[in-house]
Structure 1
Amino acid sequence: MNPELELSLGQPARARERASYGVLAAVCLAALMLPLTFVGVAVATPAIGRELGGSPLALSWTTNAFMLTFGSVLMAAGTLADEYGRKRLFSLGVALFGLSSLALVFVPSLLWLNLLRGVQGLAGAAALAGGSAALAQAFEGPARTRVFSLLGTTFGVGLAFGPILAGVLIEHSGWRGIFVSGALIGGLALGFGVPRMEESRDPEARGVDWPGTLSFTLALVLLTWGILLAPQSGWDSPWVLLLLVGALLALGLFIVVERRAFRPMLDLSLFRYPRFVGVQVLPIATCYCYVVLLILLPIRFIGVEGYSEIDAGILMMALSAPMLVVPFAAGWLNRWFSAGNLSSLGLLVAAGGLFWLSRIEPGQAAVERVWPLLVIGLGSGLPWGLMDGLSVSVVPKERAGMASGIFSTTRVAGEGIALALVVALLAGLLQHGLASLAPPGESLLAARQLAGGDLAASAGSLPTLSREGLLHIYSQAFSQLLQVLMVITLLAALVVRVALHEPRHPCQARD
């Protein structure tokens, strides 16, 4: 072939390749800001409570408001990206996230903070949906699997550095500095990543499935609200039962709507693929063995055990630092071992770390917590590095975008529900431990305060009980909670092992 002609034919291919990696750079930058603000707010919760006040329930919405809006509109945001342009929605989401982060710096009350956290969730959903859809179009085949695995690893990097960054910012500039960092990263994504993206859309897009979006959002809000209200009112409370039944009815309505829609937000036929179902278990499992600890442990370390924000952030690095290495190692090991085997092994390791951590009591040396936290992080990192790529590789190519949207929704909505359930369970275990030591009203209030990390307020509610007595009850309740999380993780490992079982690894089949 003529060298000049060959060169001219190669130029468009190289241009497309550069554009594809521009998309990857922009999306990964945006993927950093989401986990940084997620875990950063967890570390900052005690400081936020000291400055803005608020009940334990109100403070819990600093995280739940973000998770609810993020998880409930993620699939609808994917439809908007297909119709109006992936680059356009991604840019809008990143810009709105940055602006809401700046607004959070100036909030005068907890109510405004929670409202703006909800706006951040909407913006994060737009950014992630637009970015994921753009990646699915920019890469094909094995390259698509690799870039989605890299996207998941980027989330892990944000989670790894989030606690220590938050601790340093709180120590030197206050908790509002966390939101400044989110705005700066969003600005980098807009300034350096977005100009390198190319616009793409689905010419057959038919608009947002509003009935599906509204019914799904209603189900998620009612379920989370009911779970959060249960420790205060009791699981048999008429209000709690009404909220939970309403959530069930809204979920049923969502399923009916999606089955009848011409172009549904959620293609239920994907659940006919057993491996696709198995992949959805992975983010749920990591919610209970890893993500909830990113929220609960800083509250325990700072609010109950008296660590400074920086010391708590350093200690949390033992849990999150493996996310810098293990997901990459998982992708490398996947050349010889199946993703199902690696993921189930990782969950087994994480379950062992949870049991080990359950044996550590408040007051013991910090170094004794490092090793079980490392084990949990190492175990969680194996499925974490594989599940994003698996989400688009276990279904036909033409359904990769929908599969990615469902997986992201399962992950985010699952995190919100898991966090609400785990906090409710901890409050219930604490109330059970305090029941014999105080009247029901006082023990309920003290349990909620202690679950929220406010040891001083809990001690004030129970003046007859010593601080050491409260710590002992808290230690027992937290240990029982970790053992429940261990059981959930073990069950998930079994499901993943069965659903993602491969009789023979693809690499072996080629030999």
Structure 2
Amino acid sequence: MEIHENTGHPRRWAILGVLVISLLVVVLDNTILNVALRTLADPVHGLGASQGELEWAINSYTLVFAGLLFTFGVLGDRAGRKRFLLIGLVLFGLASLLSAYAQSPGQLVAARALMGVGGAAIMPVTLSIISNVFDPRERGRAIGVWAGAVGLAVAIGPVLGGALLEHFWWGSVFLINVPVIVLGVVLVALLVPESRDPKPGRVDVFGVVLSVVGLVALTYGIIDGGEHGFGRPLVWVAIVGGLAVLAWFIEIERRSDHPSLDVRLFKVPRFAAPVAIVGLIFFAAMGVMFFGSFYLQLVRGYSPLETGLLFLPFAGAQLIFAPRSATMVRKYGGKAVAVVGLTLTVISLAAFVFIDAKTPIWVVLIFYFIQGVGMANIMPPATESIMSALPREKAGVGSAVSNTLRQVGGALGVAVLGSVLSAVYRNDVEPALASLPAQARDAANESISGAYAAAGQLGPAAPKLLAAANDSFITAMHWAAALSALVAALGVLVALRWMPGRTAAPTVARAPEPELAGTA
């Protein structure tokens, strides 16, 4: 029997370790941010950010990341992947420093956008480097190790963020990135070999600009409408204008011979269905994560560290069930596994409609665990369907499209569900604020964080205000949770109608995409 020589790089496993460190900061930063939202909203200990500004702190990163992902992949192949990885790490480290020392919510939003530029430079080239340094026989195992490490980052991020907020100022959740980045830059420079694509694609600059402008305008309209009302012309100009620019972007991409987003792929149901499911499920899940942090810290009174620990059942379920999901796909078929995963996710999201201030916390933890199990069983069948629908040379494009739709879905989920939360809260709490001083009334009417800040100045009237704010927030949370469950339920219908069923010899995905292992 002929034994083929391993064609991988001699230091390939050490290089994999460096790549894991490079991606860890990207994932850690986003999961840490979830537990820091309440602190950032605090005018004394944070920046006094409004709910809309907090949504932008999340979405400025996500939208820039999604918009630049394809183009930076092509630029990395052209200019050198190691060089691009180093540039991405330095940008991410610089943006982390700027975020940590931001003096206003606007500065934080801008710094987070720069962080998105760094993340978009890091993500695609790390995938390319793995393909370059590993023998094809080991590549699947390497990506599996990478996915597991990123899943671990999803688990430890909220706990680390909570521990930092217990002992240090809010900027520490961003500053923690800097020593990791410095280590990453040194190790990449020493260990990672330079590589390029001998036939790199062309860069679709106009398409990238259109996609970012369209998404930012649409998201701005949704967030601003939720915060200040949808009755103003500016809101609808932004929403309709954003949709028009995105329609123009799709038409340009359809005709381009070097598109940044190959929209023609969506004509293939086996590809379009799982990509749509990924977008829908992250739309639903990221919005729920956004209001879940406020529910735990304000309504229930848990500290940032305790909140981080309460997210562990979700992350633990991902770590336990995601590695086993591919086996389930082989045994039962992608459609069956995806439908079960989606149904569990719908149940867990819908449960928030019935959760209130007195619900035993172990009940909340059970539903976080069910959500983790459900989402762990969505990505592998979705990845299997995407990869089996495309020829081998298009595999990278397929995973990039899936990643982009995940990011965009998550951003729109935070924007739309955050706007529903804000609008319902304001409408519900307004009657209870009539007797308050004007300044306290305006703060409490904006968000539950504003109500807690105002209560600190009210003395004996504070308990009544807090009770009204908590009740209004829970009502708003119920509406947002119902919408998120409906969106996830659409994913079930898409899976039942278009996902491929069990075949005689299914093509199983090599591993779920690393960034898709969690909700970062």
> Under TM normalisation by the shorter chain, which class is it?
0.7 to 0.9
> Hey, what's the Cα distance between the residues in 2 that align with 1:463 and 1:134?
57
> What is the CA-CA distance between 1:227 and the residue it aligns to?
0.7
Query: What amino acid does structure 2 have at the position aligned with 1:475?
Result: I
> Hey, what's the Cα distance between the residues in 2 that align with 1:468 and 1:234?
24
Q: Is the 8 A contact 1:33 1:182 kept in 2?
A: yes
> What is the CA-CA distance between 1:400 and the residue it aligns to?
1.4
Structure 1 residue 500 corresponds to structure 2 residue 499? yes
The runs of 5 or more residues in structure 1 that have no matched partner are none
- The one of 309, 334, 337 equivalent to 1:342 is 337
1:167-178 map, 5 Å: 167-178=162-173
> Hey, what's the Cα distance between the residues in 1 that align with 2:391 and 2:11?
25
DSSP 3-state at the match of 1:336: helix
Structure 1 residue 37 corresponds to structure 2 residue 36? no
Q: Is the 8 A contact 2:291 2:477 kept in 1?
A: no
Structure 1 pair 259/487, CA: closer, same or farther in 2 (3 Å)?
closer
> Hey, what's the Cα distance between the residues in 2 that align with 1:321 and 1:447?
37
Instruction: Quote the residue 1:204 is aligned against.
Output: 199
- The one of 228, 232, 250 equivalent to 1:237 is 232
- The one of 25, 39, 63 equivalent to 2:17 is 25
Deviations 1:232-251 (A, max 9, x none): 34334210110011112211
Structure 1 residue 81 corresponds to structure 2 residue 76? yes
1:139-158 map, 5 Å: 147-148=142-143, 151-158=146-153
> Hey, what's the Cα distance between the residues in 2 that align with 1:417 and 1:498?
24
Structure 1 residue 432 corresponds to structure 2 residue 455? no
> What is the CA-CA distance between 1:171 and the residue it aligns to?
0.6
> What is the CA-CA distance between 1:340 and the residue it aligns to?
2.8
Q: Is the 8 A contact 2:285 2:484 kept in 1?
A: no
Structure 1 pair 20/410, CA: closer, same or farther in 2 (3 Å)?
farther
Instruction: Quote the residue 2:474 is aligned against.
Output: 475
Deviations 1:267-319 (A, max 9, x none): 22211221111221232233144333333211221133321111111111122
Query: What amino acid does structure 2 have at the position aligned with 1:40?
Result: I
> What is the CA-CA distance between 1:25 and the residue it aligns to?
3.1
Instruction: Quote the residue 2:452 is aligned against.
Output: 455
Q: Is the 8 A contact 2:288 2:481 kept in 1?
A: no
Instruction: Quote the residue 1:410 is aligned against.
Output: 405
Instruction: Quote the residue 2:157 is aligned against.
Output: 162
Structure 1 pair 398/63, CA: closer, same or farther in 2 (3 Å)?
same
1:249-268 map, 5 Å: 249-268=244-263
> Hey, what's the Cα distance between the residues in 2 that align with 1:257 and 1:324?
40
Instruction: Quote the residue 1:248 is aligned against.
Output: 243
Deviations 1:400-450 (A, max 9, x none): 1222221111111221111111100111222332355567x9988645312
Structure 1 residue 272 corresponds to structure 2 residue 262? no
Q: Is the 8 A contact 2:214 2:242 kept in 1?
A: yes
Instruction: Quote the residue 1:306 is aligned against.
Output: 301
> Hey, what's the Cα distance between the residues in 1 that align with 2:488 and 2:339?
9
> Hey, what's the Cα distance between the residues in 2 that align with 1:284 and 1:338?
21
- The one of 378, 390, 393 equivalent to 1:398 is 393
TM-score, with structure 2 as normaliser? 0.86
Q: Is the 8 A contact 2:420 2:479 kept in 1?
A: no
Q: Is the 8 A contact 1:145 1:389 kept in 2?
A: no
DSSP 3-state at the match of 2:311: helix
Deviations 1:434-480 (A, max 9, x none): 355567x9988645312x57534389899895432332222222123
Q: Which is worse superposed, 100-109 or 261-270? A: 100-109
Instruction: Quote the residue 1:55 is aligned against.
Output: 50
Structure 1 pair 357/260, CA: closer, same or farther in 2 (3 Å)?
closer
> What is the CA-CA distance between 1:193 and the residue it aligns to?
5.2
Instruction: Quote the residue 1:114 is aligned against.
Output: 109
Aligned length: 499
> Hey, what's the Cα distance between the residues in 1 that align with 2:371 and 2:190?
39
> Hey, what's the Cα distance between the residues in 2 that align with 1:499 and 1:17?
40
Structure 1 pair 352/112, CA: closer, same or farther in 2 (3 Å)?
same
> Hey, what's the Cα distance between the residues in 1 that align with 2:73 and 2:164?
34
Structure 1 residue 100 corresponds to structure 2 residue 124? no
> Hey, what's the Cα distance between the residues in 2 that align with 1:90 and 1:272?
33
Structure 1 pair 239/443, CA: closer, same or farther in 2 (3 Å)?
farther
Instruction: Quote the residue 2:325 is aligned against.
Output: 330
> Hey, what's the Cα distance between the residues in 2 that align with 1:267 and 1:288?
22
Structure 1 pair 459/57, CA: closer, same or farther in 2 (3 Å)?
farther
Q: Which is worse superposed, 473-482 or 497-506? A: 497-506
Q: Is the 8 A contact 2:426 2:447 kept in 1?
A: no
DSSP 3-state at the match of 2:330: coil
Query: What amino acid does structure 1 have at the position aligned with 2:401?
Result: I
Q: Is the 8 A contact 2:57 2:109 kept in 1?
A: yes
> What is the CA-CA distance between 1:152 and the residue it aligns to?
4.5
> What is the CA-CA distance between 1:386 and the residue it aligns to?
4.8
The share of aligned pairs that are identical, in percent, is 24
> Hey, what's the Cα distance between the residues in 2 that align with 1:327 and 1:80?
32
Q: Is the 8 A contact 1:145 1:393 kept in 2?
A: no
Structure 1 pair 250/128, CA: closer, same or farther in 2 (3 Å)?
same
Structure 1 pair 205/412, CA: closer, same or farther in 2 (3 Å)?
same
> Hey, what's the Cα distance between the residues in 2 that align with 1:248 and 1:420?
15
Query: What amino acid does structure 1 have at the position aligned with 2:477?
Result: F
Query: What amino acid does structure 2 have at the position aligned with 1:497?
Result: L
Query: What amino acid does structure 2 have at the position aligned with 1:86?
Result: R
Q: Is the 8 A contact 1:301 1:312 kept in 2?
A: yes
Q: Is the 8 A contact 2:69 2:400 kept in 1?
A: yes
Structure 1 pair 503/222, CA: closer, same or farther in 2 (3 Å)?
same
Instruction: Quote the residue 2:518 is aligned against.
Output: none
Q: Is the 8 A contact 1:44 1:170 kept in 2?
A: yes
Q: Is the 8 A contact 2:65 2:116 kept in 1?
A: yes
DSSP 3-state at the match of 1:358: coil
